[in-house]
Structure 1
């Protein structure tokens, strides 16, 4: 697998990770608050505290999923090729 193929595979995994992150965010939000996550936190009718809390939770989850996917895909590439992809090594 070349660097271009690795890049495509990582992008596809990131898209899947985005879907996974959305599900984790919605499930976590409902578990913690007992209500559905705000459909649009920027809506002025959404309480400011709720909007900020949602931004913090969703940002953290998305970033954790992104780092996890990139770490695992880089690990798989390195195991297969014996070296880091150029885009990571530079």
Structure 2
């Protein structure tokens, strides 16, 4: 069973990842609109969306959101280590 520290880390990490992903989606959509002059596709699976546009959107969104989530989780891990004196066990680098 997870101890309180582990549960606290899970909540912090999930919240950070969610917030990072949310902000990234908004920023990427705004950048897409500014660079293409069009709204991003709301349903890239639709045959009415050009294949190149659908693939471009999915690639940009996928990479952007995952990078933002990674950075947010790493920042949360640094804050966790400052507060508790140690990283969560599963985040410690194996040397």
TM-score by length of 1: 0.90
- Structure 1 stretches of 4+ with a deviation exceeding 6 A read none
Partners of 1:8 and 1:23 in 2: CA distance = 23
Partners of 1:26 and 1:65 in 2: CA distance = 14
Partners of 1:56 and 1:19 in 2: CA distance = 17
2:91 is equivalent to residue 80 of structure 1: no
Partners of 2:76 and 2:58 in 1: CA distance = 27
Structure 1 gap segments, 5+ residues each: none
User: Of the candidates 43, 53, 58, which is equivalent to residue 55 of structure 1?
Assistant: 58
| Paired position in structure 1 for 2:13 | 10
- Count of residue correspondences: 90
| Paired position in structure 2 for 1:33 | 36
Partners of 1:18 and 1:66 in 2: CA distance = 6
TM-score by length of 2: 0.86
What is the alpha-carbon root mean square deviation over aligned residues? 1.5
Structure 2 gap segments, 5+ residues each: none
CA deviation after TM superposition for structure 1 residue 87, in Å: 2.5
